[in-house]
Structure 1
Amino acid sequence: MQAIRVHPAQPPSPAYAPSNPAPSTALHLDNIPIPHPTKPGELLIRIKATTIIRDMLTWPETYAHDYIIPGNDFAGTVVEIFPGGEESAFKIGDEVFGMVHADRPSTWAEYAIVLESEVALKPKGVGWEGAAALPLSGMTAFEALVDHAGLSLLQDGDVEARKENEKKEVLITGAAGGVGIYLVQLAASTGLRVIAASSSNARNEEFLRELGAHEVVEYSVLEGVKDRFDVIIDTVGGETLAQCWGYVKDGGSLISVDSGSFNFLEEHGKRGIVRDGVKALFFIIRGSTRALHALAELVDRGMVKSFVAGTYPIAKVREAYDFANGRFTGRGKAILTL
């Protein structure tokens, strides 16, 4: 099978590592054997599309061993189930999407082994590229709002729950970014009043309102806001996150998914800006079939859209990685197709 692998640095160059990340020229298209399921719960997927995430070549997991195959998000078809897996929830030919755990990247290839717990049936309302763009960003948004902020996705006809949610306001920073676009859509689907913050209304307001935002503001407009929001989901970090302590209500939630803010509670505690009575945390996505099923249902109901910024064949992976790590004006993910 064809697979993209990260080739090691050649002596006398120093070994690649998060502190000395590989350049895109270290990505090579190789021919290697097709893997096969070796234990119950494993599936072999024929990959149709997978994502490129910014800075993937700086991740520690990329250097767990030489010649690693990167990639976590995927969409494809089930082609093999572990022998004797008659009780599998999937059958050969099923169209699926999902995300393999960060410790087991492998989806920049024609075939990949995934766990049943990492897979759900692909939403019918999108193609392979759109399905592959959903898992990481969509599940991050789902976990932020549902698992950590304690909100509930509404069922059709759930009038009382919607009325209750409509009394609450959520602020989303970096609302036009990769995770922000799913936060806006999911929050709007719960009936919450959504305030979307970004660096430029001229560039983002119309787009964010189409996603369901009730208000779209630039960060300067928030200055002077006090104790307004029931929930704040931050994707930006830095001083934007620090300012959010003043915006959140007592008893509210302040949640960050910005990777550089993993220790923000400690740092903000030293600055004396942490407030008692506010649920505050940083989290790293876990992923679940529950979240994947919810996203698929919302896509098929027309309540969530996926976004693809660019599509590249696997042979152009270097160009695709450079695109994903550059400044582009599109929305969503860079996708590799196979």
Structure 2
Amino acid sequence: MQAIRVHPAQPPTPPYSPSNPAPSTSLHLDNIPIPHPTKPGELLIRIKATTIIRDMLTWPETYAHPYIIPGNDFAGTVVEIFLSGEESTFKIGDEVFGMVHADRPSTWAEYAIVLESEIALKPKGIEWEGAAALPLSGMTALEALFDHAGLSLLEEGDVEAQKENEKKEVLITGAAGGVGIYLVQLAATTGLRVIAASSSNARNGEFLQEIGAHEVIEYSALEDVKNRFDIIVDTVGGETLARCWRYVKEGGSLISVDSGSFNFVEEHGKRGVGRDGVKE
């Protein structure tokens, strides 16, 4: 089968690592044997679509072993199931999608081994590409809003909760991006007023409103905003995230899903950017 693999650095270049990321030229299309399931719960999937994540070459898992095959999200068909005497939930020919564990990237290939617990049947109305784009981005958005920001879905008929939520605003930066579009849709289900930040209203405004944003705002229009938002979920990082400290209310929540901003509270504190009274 064909697979894209990360080839190791050649001397005198230091070994690649998260602090010395491999360049794109280290990615090679190789011909390697097709793997086969060897344990209960394993299936072989013929990959129809996968995803490219911006920061993948900075992840520690990318350097777990030489010649690793990147990729975690996927959509494809089941072509082989490990026979262990137990009936599988899936059958040959099933169209599925899912995400392999972060420690086992492998989906930038024609075939990949996955676990039954990592897949679900692909809805008929979703194309291969759309199904592959969902798992990591959707899960990231879900965790940001419901685990870290503490939001919950409105219960049917709970008018008081709905009125209370309608008073609150959530700002989502990078709203038209891979994670941002799920944040907008999920935030809208909570009844909060969703403000989507975009670099261009002309390009993204109509689309973002169609998926649930109550207002679309360009970054330049945020310059004079202070202490406005109850919750901010940032997907951009960098200076955009640093400016968010001004926009969030006292007692509000500021969350970033940008992988390069995992320690932003500490880093911003050293720069004197952060402030007390904000939940991270």
Per the alignment, residue 275 of structure 2 pairs with: 274
Establish whether residue 118 from structure 1 lines up as the match of residue 112 from structure 2.
Answer: no
Contact 1:40/1:85 (CA < 8 Å) preserved in 2? Answer: no
Residue 204 (structure 1) shift: 2.5
- Per-residue deviation at 1:91? 3.3
- State the 1:50 CA deviation: 0.8
Aligned-residue offset at 1:184? 1.2
> Shift of residue 13 of structure 1?
5.1
1:81 aligns with 81
CA-CA distance at 1:172 after TM superposition = 0.6
Matched-pair contact (CA < 8 Å) for 1:97–1:119: yes
Does residue 174 of structure 2 align to residue 174 of structure 1? yes
Structure 1 gap segments, 5+ residues each: 281-338
Partners in 2 of 1:17 and 1:178 — Cα distance? 25
**Deviation sequence 1:110-164 (CA, Å, 0-9, x none):** 2211223322222222111111111121211111112211223457x55635444
Which position in structure 2 is the counterpart of 1:138?
Answer: 138
Secondary structure, in 3 states, of the residue corresponding to 1:49?
Answer: strand
* Cα separation, 2, equivalents of 1:253 and 1:17: 33
Q: Structure 1's 272 and 28: CA in aligned 2 closer, same or farther, altered over 3 A?
A: closer
- Within 2, Cα distance between the matches of 1:273 and 1:58? 25
- What is the Cα deviation at residue 55 of structure 1? 4.0
Q: Does 1:203 align with 2:200?
A: no
The residue type equivalent to 1:191 in the other structure is G
In structure 2, distance between residues paired with 1:112 and 1:234: 32
> 2:241 is matched with which residue?
241
Task: Give the Cα separation in 2 of the matches to 1:55 and 1:137.
Answer: 13
Structure 2 counterpart of 1:31:
31
Instruction: Check conservation: 1:50, 1:71, Cα contact below 8 A.
Output: yes
Q: What's the offset of the Cα at 1:88?
A: 4.1
Relative distance call for 1:100 and 1:223 in structure 2 (3 A) is: same
Contact 2:245–2:273, Cα closer than 8 Å, also in 1? no
Which letter does structure 2 place at the counterpart of 1:269?
G
Structure 1 distance, partners of 2:162, 2:36, is 46
Contact 2:201–2:218 (CA under 8 A) maintained in structure 1: yes
| Greater Cα offset, 85-94 or 56-65 | 85-94
Cα distance in 2 for partners of 1:181, 1:26 equals 31
Aligned to 2:152: 152
Render the CA deviation track for 1:41-92: whole Å, top value 9, x for unaligned.
3322221111122243343322222221111110012233332263544333
Partner of 1:314: none
What's the CA shift for 1:194? 0.5
1:50 is matched with which residue? Answer: 50
Taking the aligned partners of 1:158 and 1:93, their CA distance within structure 2 comes to 42
CA distance in 1, matches of 2:250, 2:85: 51
Provide the TM-score with structure 1 as the length reference.
0.73
Give the aligned partner of residue 336 of structure 1: none
Which residue in 2 is equivalent to 1:98? 98
CA offsets 1:219-270 (integer angstroms, 9 cap, x no match): 2322343332221101122333233233223332211111222111112333
SS at match of 1:52: coil
Aligned length, in residue pairs:
278
Cα separation, partners in 2 of 1:194 and 1:112, compared to 1, 3 Å: same
TM-score w.r.t. length of structure 2: 0.87
Q: CA separation in 1, counterparts of 2:85 and 2:132?
A: 26
Amino acid at match of 2:275: V
Partner residue, 1:263: 263
Deviation at 1:181, TM superposition (A): 1.8
| Secondary structure at the counterpart of residue 71 of structure 2 | coil
* Corresponding residue SS for 1:114: strand
Matched residue of 2:86: which SS? coil
Identity %: 86
CA 1:81–1:273: 2 relative to 1, 3 Å: same
- Counterparts of 1:179 and 1:73, CA distance in 2: 13
CA distance in 2, matches of 1:85, 1:149: 44
Q: Is the 8 A contact 1:43 1:78 kept in 2?
A: yes
Match of 1:294 in 2: none
SS of alignment partner, residue 254 of structure 1:
strand
| Residue in structure 2 matched with residue 108 of structure 1 by the alignment | 108
1:186 Cα deviation after fit: 1.7
SS in 2 for 1:4: strand
Structure having greater relative contact order (Cα 8 Å, sep ≥ 6): 1
Question: How many angstroms does 1:3 deviate by?
Answer: 1.9
